[in-house]
Structure 1
Amino acid sequence: MGKAGSGLSSLRTVGTFAKRGTCSETSLCVLNRAFGDPLSDEERAAAIFAGGIMQHGYQCGLIWGAALAAGAQMYRRLGAGPKAEAGAILKARRLVASFRTLNRDNINCLEIIELDKSATSLQMIKFFILKGGVIGCFRRAAKFAKAAHGEISDNVSHNEIKANSAPVSCSALVAKRMGASEKQVTMAAGLAGGIGLSGGACGALGAALWIDGISRIKIPGGKINFNDPGATGIIERFLKAADYEFECAKIVGRSFENVDEHAGYLKSGGCSNIIDALVSGSS
C-alpha cells in the first residue's frame, strides 16, 4: 500500500463532496478509489449516514463511510470471516480516535455543527450558507480522508486479530441476515458497538439502513431518501426494540473493551431482539 494520503488530494476530496453531496458517501468514495476499488452502489447507499444517520445528529457521516472503507480493505486482505470482521472493528476504532483528534474530541454531527433533523430550513441556510458551514465540512472531509487512508493502510498485527468464532460483529450479523454479499458483510463489520466499539449510535441499525439502501438503489429509479418508508420503518422497529435509545452504550449499559467481549455478548444472546427487529422487514 502507498503511504498515508496517497492519491487523496484535498482538491479531489472537496470536488467529490461537491458532486456527491453528502459527507458519508464522499468518505467511502474517495477511500475506495484510493485503494483502487470503486463500489458504486455501496457508496451511494452510504448517503444514509449523512448528518449522523439521516440527520439524527449522531456520529459524523465521515466516520461511517471510512469504517465501511476499512471493512472493504480487510476483505481484500483476509477475505470473509471472523478474522476479517475483527480486523474491521479494530480499524474502525482507530478511525474514531483519529476523528476525535482532528475535531476537538467530538464525533457527533450535532456537537460539530449544532444542527440535526429538528433544524428549520432557515437555520440550515444560516449555518451552511451565511456562516460558511459548507466550507467547514469540506475542510473536515479533506483532513480526515488523508488521516483515514493512513489508518486503513497500516497493517493490523496478527496478534491483535484473534481467530474468534462467529458472530464477531452485530452489524455484520445483521448484514448477513439481510442477504448482503460476503464483502458487504465485512464492510459493515466495523460499525459494531456504535462504530468500532465506541458506544455511539447503534452499528447494527446503521448496517440495516445501509443494506436496505443498497437494495433500493438497485431498483430502477431507486435512490436514497431520508423520508423513505423503508428506512423510517427500520428506525421505528429499532427504537421500539431498543427501548427508544439510539446509542450502543446506553442500550447495553456499558461500552465493550475489545472484540472478544463484544463477541461473547452476541454469543450469549445479547441484542438478539434488536437484531431480529432490524431484519424482520428485509426480503
Structure 2
Amino acid sequence: NTEVASPRDGGPGVEIPLRRGIGAFLKTGYCSQALFRTLNRAFADPLDHEERATVPLAGGIMGHGHQCGMVWGAALGAGAEACRRLGYGARAQAKAIIAAQKVLQSFFSLNQTIECSQITKFEWGRESALQTAGFLLTGGPVRCFRMAGRYPSEAFGEIEAVLSEDHDEALPAPVGCAAVVAHRMGASDAHTVTAAGLAGGIGLSGSGCGALGAAIWFLGLESLLKGAKKIPYKPEKAQEMVERFLRCTGGEFECAKITGRRFDGVADHAVFIRDGGCAEIIETLAACGFGHAEGVTPPAKGGGS
C-alpha cells in the first residue's frame, strides 16, 4: 500500500503520497522549492522557473530563521492556483492571501510554530561545525523530511477549500504589499497574483516581511528568465536587498514590528497599503530589481506608517 498523508477534518479529502513530497525535497535540496513543486504538480501545473526561484526562501529567508521555507512555498502555491482559477484581479489576490492564512495555520497546527529557527533549533546565521553536528545528531533533517511528506496534503486541502468558496469581499487592487512589490519590480499579472499571499508576513501573520520575500523570489525568477542556470541559496543581489531593507526598517524583519500593528483581515491590510503604509519599504525593495516598473506604490509615508 502507498503511504499517504491526508488533511485533518475540515479540508477536502485529498491524498498526496508521502514519498512525493520527500522525493521533491531530495531532488531539489530546498524545502521551499519542494513544497511549491509538490503542490503545483498536485494541481497539475508545474512551474519550473517559479519553483526554482524559491531557493533563497529556504531556512526562513536565506538562513535568517523566519517562516519555514515550506510555508513560503505553500503560500506561493496558493497564489499560483488562485491565478489559474480566478485570473489576475483583486479577487484572485485576496483569495491568495486567505489561502496563505490557512496553509500557515495548518503548518502551525502540525508544528506549534511557523519559524524555521524554532523547528530546527539551528541558528542559521551562526553556522558552525559543532552546531551543524548537533542539528544532524538530533534528527533535524529527519523532522524536515517528515514534514515535507506530511504537509503537502494539508496545504493542498486548505487551498482547495478556500478557492472553492464563492463568498468574497469586493476589494480594489492592489490588495497587499507583496503584490505591490511584485508589480513594481515588473512582474507579470500572473506572478503578481502568485506572490500576493505573502502579504503581511505570509497570510497577514505578522512574521517575516512578505514584501521582502516576494521581492527575493521575483529577483530569482527574473534571473532565471534572463538565462541563469540556477539560483544560489544566498544570491549576492538578494543579500544586498536584505541589507537595504534592514536599513529602511531599523534592523527589523517582522511585519508586526515594522508596522507596529496586526491586520484584522485582507480589507484592513489593503486600506493600510493604499493609504501609504510601508511605501518607503516597497520602493526600496522595488528599486533593487533588475529594472523596476512604474506602478501603484502609494506616496511615501515611511516604513511603518
Residues 12-161 of structure 1 aligned to structure 2 (within 5 Å): 12-103=20-111, 105-115=112-122, 116-128=124-136, 130-156=137-163, 157-159=165-167, 161=168
Structure 1 residue 168 displacement after superposition: 0.6
| Residues 45-81 of structure 1: CA deviation (Å, up to 9, x unaligned) | 1111100000100000000000000011111111001
Structure 1 residue 277 displacement after superposition: 0.2
CA distance in 2, matches of 1:158, 1:268: 28
| Counterpart in the other structure of 1:5 | 14
Structure 1 residue 234 displacement after superposition: 0.9
Percent sequence identity over matched residues?
Answer: 46
Q: Secondary structure at the match of 2:261?
A: coil
Structure 1 residue 221 displacement after superposition: 4.3
**Change in 2 beyond 3 A, CA 1:92/1:221:** closer
| Residues 226-262 of structure 1: CA deviation (Å, up to 9, x unaligned) | 3322101110111111121100000000110101110
Size of the aligned set, in residue pairs, is 278
Structure 1 residue 99 displacement after superposition: 0.6
Q: TM-score, normalised by structure 2?
A: 0.88
CA distance in 2, matches of 1:239, 1:222: 29
Residue segments in structure 2 that go unaligned for 5+ positions in a row: 1-10, 292-305
CA distance in 2, matches of 1:54, 1:121: 19
Structure 1 residue 11 displacement after superposition: 0.9
| Counterpart in the other structure of 2:200 | 193
Structure 1 residue 117 displacement after superposition: 2.2
Q: Secondary structure at the match of 1:50?
A: helix
Structure 1 residue 132 displacement after superposition: 2.5
CA distance in 1, matches of 2:66, 2:155: 19
Residues 95 and 162 in structure 2, CA contact (< 8 A), matched pair in contact too: no
Residues 92 and 190 in structure 1, CA contact (< 8 A), matched pair in contact too: yes
Q: Secondary structure at the match of 1:273?
A: helix
Residues 234-249 of structure 1 aligned to structure 2 (within 5 Å): 234-249=241-256
CA distance in 1, matches of 2:62, 2:92: 28
Structure 1 residue 37 displacement after superposition: 0.5
| Counterpart in the other structure of 2:232 | 225
Q: Secondary structure at the match of 2:190?
A: helix
| Counterpart in the other structure of 1:209 | 216
Structure 1 residue 3 displacement after superposition: 4.8
Residues 226 and 232 in structure 1, CA contact (< 8 A), matched pair in contact too: no
CA distance in 1, matches of 2:199, 2:231: 22
Bigger drift between 227-236 and 39-48 goes to 227-236
CA distance in 1, matches of 2:241, 2:233: 12
Structure 1 residue 40 displacement after superposition: 0.3
Task: Give the AA of the match of 2:62.
Answer: M
1:252 maps to which of 253, 259, 262: 259
Task: Give the AA of the match of 2:233.
Answer: F
CA RMSD of aligned residues (A): 1.5
Q: Secondary structure at the match of 1:98?
A: helix
CA distance in 1, matches of 2:227, 2:263: 41
| Counterpart in the other structure of 1:175 | 182
Bigger drift between 214-223 and 61-70 goes to 214-223
CA distance in 1, matches of 2:181, 2:286: 7
